[in-house]
Amino acid sequence: MAQVLEFKLPDLGEGLTEAEIVRWLVQVGDVVAVDQPVVEVETAKAMVEVPCPYGGVVTARFGEEGTELPVGAPLITVAVGAPATDAAQDGAQTQGSGNVLVGYGTSEAPARRRRVRPARPAPAVSQAPATANGQASTTDVADGPVPVISPLVRRLARENGLDLRELTGSGPDGLILRADVEYALRAAAAQGRAPAPARPQEAMAPAPAAALTGPQEAALPPAPALAPASAGTRIPLKGIRGAVADKLSRSRREIPDATCWVDADATELMRARAAMNAAGGPKISVLALLARICTAALARFPELNSTVDQEAREVVRFDHVHLGFAAQTERGLVVPVVRDAHARDTEGLCAEFARLTEAARAGTLTPSDLTGGTFTLNNYGVFGVDGSTPIINHPEAAMLGVGRIVPKPWVHEGELAVRQVVQLSLTFDHRVCDGGTAGGFLRDVADCVEQPAVLLRTL
């Protein structure tokens, strides 16, 4: 007798809690080998193929293309030749190769941890009949996948301690909708009991008087009427746009940031770049020169290469610089990370910027390429703007913004001249340092931009 193993969406990297199914690579009935990719998913950070750690016959797939699944949700079930036992089921996630995604493992979200059971032909939903005292019976809760697609519905239920298996979904094929969860929570709050299954049709109007007795009748609030559809286009905040929204919102909530800026004469920097490129060899970008200047300045002002551990109430200073840089792609803004930027020369930085930028545009960045940064360099001058007050890339402590380099009137050696001028802005976490340190760092960067030879002191 074949053993049916359930393979769940693994943890795809730091900070990622869900992924969208882009394309199934196998069909029900296909034979798969260990570590064979079975589905292509898009996270908020990258497009990845997910390999299955089991070999056998695919017996079920969960989720259509375009569906967003939370980490820990079932992806497929695979029938393998070994007989099923309770012990094998308990250890199902440790069988096979374990190479779901190299470096990220197959761990599932703690809130969803449960024993792996064979898949059902269709999602089972309990009817949860009420007992005489109005309490919902939980003895008939069905096993198997819960018919929920929306991560919002799952999060709403989880945060309020509601077991979704107790609900009867009112959507197509028993799909549990947000209206089902909200009505169950309202009823539970009014009656002081565990949430009871409900259908949204019941939520459209006040409950009938016969359904309530005693003081509970006045306590149950009437369900609000459905709001009319509003004009305009609604765009879901999901995928990369949703991840950016969440991260920037968290940065604003947690980080008391401040910004300082300065104009710098970049004429000598541009001349130095032209001389380097004229000497032959790989072409050097302005971004690589600015990155080299940043790493040198961070060595002198390590306070800005840090993060704040709020639980421990400690500032953590890093002994390495993993330099993030903002890159605009068709999928949206991403921040690839150059590992150990402090240990690379200008040519090495330029090569790594080029590799990561190409991967970002192709959508092939891995989660490790997009996480772990300690400081971010944001060159918004490529968009033709002079200045900005960038939002810190949480949980980092600072970000350097660089505007466009354009000819402007400038006093040079006591005379008015036309020079290549750039505006530099530094947004920093005021918890890690004061304005003197931030101003010192920014002035140090500006001095190196104006006189690149200053960098020789760090070599």
Which residues are tagged catalytic? 430, 434
Q: How far from chain centre, in Å, is Cα 150?
A: 17
How is residue 311 annotated by DSSP? T
Environment class of 333 (CB within 10 Å of its CB; exposed 0-12, middle 13-18, buried 19+): middle
Task: Convert 105-133 to b/e letters by CB count within 10 Å (16 or more is b).
Answer: ebebbeebeeebebbeeebebbebeeeee
- Nearest 5°: the CA angle 287, 291, 295 is 175
Instruction: Identify the H or E element spanning 251.
Output: helix 239-254
Q: Which residue has the tokens 């792996």?
A: 116
Residue 175 contacts by C-beta under 8 Å, 6 or more apart in sequence? 147, 148, 149, 169
Rounded to 5°, the CA angle 300-301-303 comes to 145
Token pair for 277: 């490129």
Kindly give, in sequence order, each residue whose CB lies less than 8 Å from that of residue 410, ignoring residues fewer than 6 positions away. 265, 416, 417, 418, 419, 421
Closest by Cα among 284, 262, 266 to 405: 266
